[in-house]
A and B are shown apart, each in its own frame.
Chain A
Amino acid sequence: MAQIFHRSTNTVAKVTLFGAVFFVAVAGWVAATLDRSAYSTRQGVVREQPVPFSHDHHVVALGIDCRYCHTAVETEAFAGIPPTTTCINCHKLIWNESDMLAPVRASLAEDTPIRWTRVHDLPDFVYFDHSIHVAKGVGCATCHGRVDQMPLVYQAASLQMEWCLECHRHPERYVGPREQVFNMAWKAPDQATLGPALVAEYHVDPRTDCSTCHR
């Protein structure tokens, strides 16, 4: 009986077998890369704001502490975004005719909040709480990067689950002294010895079971 398939079909079949594995692997890799890309996580993407509020200017040049504006960060889940009156504390006398601040004055006059564009926004099925992280010595800069050097805020970390878990599994790599949480420039002289010591001192024990963050 004559052969139905030409000899070369063997090669084609082998290539196809390999190709299928290769195709699935590449597809997986593309999906994973896309998922981690800035396009999907919005990491590093600067967001336009209704008022060009500069952390660089207010934190570094003027020396204002994060807690002057983000008053709830030590006690609550939500860090707090300052109300218009907080800006007015200073801007009633400073730059009070500048066009840049016109939306702030309008907000005060009309009693309507300023609509800031959210930069960090976890999905609604994730629970996050600032107060516990601050209380256990995780600095703002660890998660938010050098906000004090950002003329407009962007997201410094991916905020993906793997990012949370990396620290929840190895807190000793990130935990610092409580007094330095708000010091954006703080760098541990020797994290390898300081980290484990602080983890023991503060009883740091972040959980990794699903219900910690998905509740």
Chain B
Amino acid sequence: MRTSAPLVAAALALLVFAGCRQGMYDQARYEPYEDSDFFADGRASRLLVEGTVPRGWLRADPVLYTGIGADGGFAAELPVALTRELVERGRQRFEIFCSPCHGRTGDGLGMIVQRGFKQPASFHEARLRAMPYGYFFDVVTNGFGQMSSYASMVPVADRWAIAAYVRVLQTSRYIAVDELPAEDRRRLEAAR
């Protein structure tokens, strides 16, 4: 029985101290975006020093990172391989970042436009159908009129995937019925 006294005391101490939320809960290090009383602007997540290039951010390939070709015009070819995965990825990203305004089909009638945002041109009009891949990359990177730049939200690889998917959307409306694969044609006939 003698050993139990310290044990009980320890157990009680544990119970008492379990309520303490000190030092270890909020340690002397910053979490992302935490506010800071050390830096004058109050941000723990520091902005890049001007003129520096973080690792992995060297933009040595101009076509890949600007969408502008060697001739100074928009790149006509994708600088990445056109695969089914690329297009699927493009579709997913388009539906996250673009469809709120441009609509899922690219007709420019997304939900935000229905709530009063400026209506963009439909991707299916002749002017935009004639635009090369590089143009779509450029608009996402630098913005266009009332549309902001999406460069900080959509990484480079995804911007090309989106450009590829926009072309898919555009093409989709101009396929002759007899060019369709048999399976899709059957579905079309059934829906009629």
Question: Are B8 and A113 within 8 A (Cβ)?
Answer: no
Compute how far the CA of A115 lies from the CA of B36 in the bound complex, rounded to whole angstroms.
Answer: 12
Chain A residue numbers with a CB within 8 Å of B33 are 78, 81, 113
Compute how far the CA of A89 lies from the CA of B143 in the bound complex, rounded to whole angstroms.
Answer: 10
Count B interface residues, CB 8 Å: 33
**Interface with A: B20-28, B49-57, B168-176, B184-192, which one?**
B20-28
Known pairs A31-B15, A93-B116; A125 contacts B24 (CB<8 A):
yes
Give a binary string over A65-100; 1 marks a CB under 8 Å from any B CB, 0 the rest: 101100100000010010101101110111000000
Question: Are A62 and B111 within 8 A (Cβ)?
Answer: yes
Question: Are A94 and B115 within 8 A (Cβ)?
Answer: yes
CB distance from A79 to the nearest CB of B (A): 9
Asked if A112 is at the interface (CB within 8 A of a chain B CB), the reply is: yes
Known pairs A35-B18, A68-B100, A94-B112; A124 contacts B27 (CB<8 A):
yes
Chain B residue numbers with a CB within 8 Å of A71 are 153
Chain B residue numbers with a CB within 8 Å of A63 are 100, 111
CB-CB nearest in chain A for B101? A90
Compute how far the CA of A128 lies from the CA of B97 in the bound complex, rounded to whole angstroms.
Answer: 27
Chain A residue numbers with a CB within 8 Å of B146 are 92-93
Chain A residue numbers with a CB within 8 Å of B24 are 123-125
Asked if B96 is at the interface (CB within 8 A of a chain A CB), the reply is: yes
Question: Are A28 and B116 within 8 A (Cβ)?
Answer: no
Question: Are B118 and A93 within 8 A (Cβ)?
Answer: yes
Chain B residue numbers with a CB within 8 Å of A83 are 152
Question: Are A85 and B118 within 8 A (Cβ)?
Answer: no
Known pairs A94-B112, A94-B117, A123-B24; A85 contacts B96 (CB<8 A):
no
Asked if A164 is at the interface (CB within 8 A of a chain B CB), the reply is: no
Question: Are B31 and A124 within 8 A (Cβ)?
Answer: yes
Question: Are A65 and B118 within 8 A (Cβ)?
Answer: no
Asked if A192 is at the interface (CB within 8 A of a chain B CB), the reply is: no
CB distance from A19 to the nearest CB of B (A): 14
* B19, B41, B95, B153 interface centre (most CB from chain A within 10 Å): B153
Compute how far the CA of A112 lies from the CA of B39 in the bound complex, rounded to whole angstroms.
Answer: 13
Known pairs A24-B8, A94-B112; A65 contacts B95 (CB<8 A):
yes
Identify whether the interface residues of B are mostly helix, strand, loop, or mixed: loop
Asked if A64 is at the interface (CB within 8 A of a chain B CB), the reply is: yes
Chain B residue numbers with a CB within 8 Å of A27 are 12, 15
Asked if A34 is at the interface (CB within 8 A of a chain B CB), the reply is: yes
Asked if B32 is at the interface (CB within 8 A of a chain A CB), the reply is: yes
Asked if B148 is at the interface (CB within 8 A of a chain A CB), the reply is: yes
Asked if B43 is at the interface (CB within 8 A of a chain A CB), the reply is: yes
* A24, A34, A123, A124 interface centre (most CB from chain B within 10 Å): A124
Other-chain contact of A125, B27, B111, B153 (Cβ < 8 Å): B27
Asked if B77 is at the interface (CB within 8 A of a chain A CB), the reply is: no
Question: Are A24 and B111 within 8 A (Cβ)?
Answer: no
Question: Are B41 and A90 within 8 A (Cβ)?
Answer: no
Compute how far the CA of A125 lies from the CA of B21 in the bound complex, rounded to whole angstroms.
Answer: 12
Give a binary string over A44-71; 1 marks a CB under 8 Å from any B CB, 0 the rest: 0000000000000000001111011001
List 19 extra interface pairs beyond A34-B19, A68-B96, A89-B148, CB under 8 A.
A24-B11, A28-B15, A31-B18, A31-B19, A35-B19, A62-B112, A65-B96, A71-B153, A90-B117, A93-B116, A93-B117, A94-B112, A94-B116, A112-B41, A113-B33, A123-B21, A124-B26, A124-B31, A125-B27
Q: List 24 A-B contacts (CB under 8 A).
A: A24-B8, A27-B12, A28-B15, A31-B18, A34-B19, A62-B115, A64-B100, A65-B96, A68-B96, A68-B100, A68-B153, A71-B153, A78-B32, A78-B33, A81-B33, A88-B148, A90-B100, A90-B112, A92-B148, A93-B117, A93-B118, A94-B116, A113-B33, A124-B29
